[in-house]
Amino acid sequence: MQGDNALTGEMPAGDLQAPVTTRDHVQGPDTALVTMVEYADYECPYSRIAYHVIKGVQRELGGQLRFIYRNFPLREIHPHAQHAAEAAEAAATQDRFWEMHDYLFEHQRALDDEHLHQYAVALGLEAEIFDQDLAQHRHAGKIEGDLRGGIRSGVQGTPTFFINGVRHEGSHDLESLLSTIRAAETAS
């Protein structure tokens, strides 16, 4: 499966240049032997497919995996990607990042501001605060930081995965990701 490409040229192999920090959105224990970082775009159809694959990986591995999601909106080709990422970050300030993250991928074809507001209401967020966050682009800096970290790490399209800091060059299907993760687990 090929992802959406943000830049032209070949994607160089590389290591993750932006270490995991407390600013990241994390699922799974810090003690997991394997950490998988994904750079993705809420409007990218390949990122949506990967979203479902990651759910399968998490079901399979449980607490053996620490998963980190980072924003990499491809603004040039996905007009709603930036605001969708801002919506997820606005939800994070109300401790609902993962719920909004899931909602955005599950409703990927409706990411305009009206729908983002509806999602916030459906998730029980303080809608007025959420709307103000979006209108004032309060979380654009966090997204820009994710983007810069991805670019430093050689990310050019979405989704892009790093497993224990090394770019996953294989397919993004369940079998390929599990194989790479299990190899990283035994190498730890």
The answer to the question of residue 4 being in a domain is: no
The answer to the question of residue 183 being in a domain is: yes
The answer to the question of residue 7 being in a domain is: no
The answer to the question of residue 56 being in a domain is: yes
Asked whether the beta carbons of 95 and 65 are under 8 A apart, the reply is: no
pLDDT at 70: 98
Asked whether the beta carbons of 91 and 99 are under 8 A apart, the reply is: yes
Number of domain units in the chain = 1
Give kind and range of the element (H or E) at residue 128: helix 127-135
CATH for 90: 3.40.30.10
The answer to the question of residue 9 being in a domain is: no
Give this prediction's pTM: 0.91
The answer to the question of residue 19 being in a domain is: yes
Which residues are paired to 69 by β-bridges? 25, 38
pLDDT in tens, the chain (188 residues): 445 554 433 344 479 999 999 999 999 999 999 999 999 999 999 999 999 999 999 999 989 999 999 999 999 999 999 999 999 999 999 999 999 999 999 999 999 999 999 999 999 999 999 999 999 999 999 999 999 999 999 999 999 999 999 999 989 999 999 999 999 988 87
- Centre a 10 Å sphere on the Cβ of residue 28 and count the other Cβ atoms it contains: 18
- Round to whole Å and give the CA distance between 29 and 62: 10
- Centre a 10 Å sphere on the Cβ of residue 157 and count the other Cβ atoms it contains: 21
Instruction: Measure the CA angle with vertex 178, ends 176 and 183; round to 5°.
Output: 100
Range of the domain at 114: 15-187
The answer to the question of residue 2 being in a domain is: no
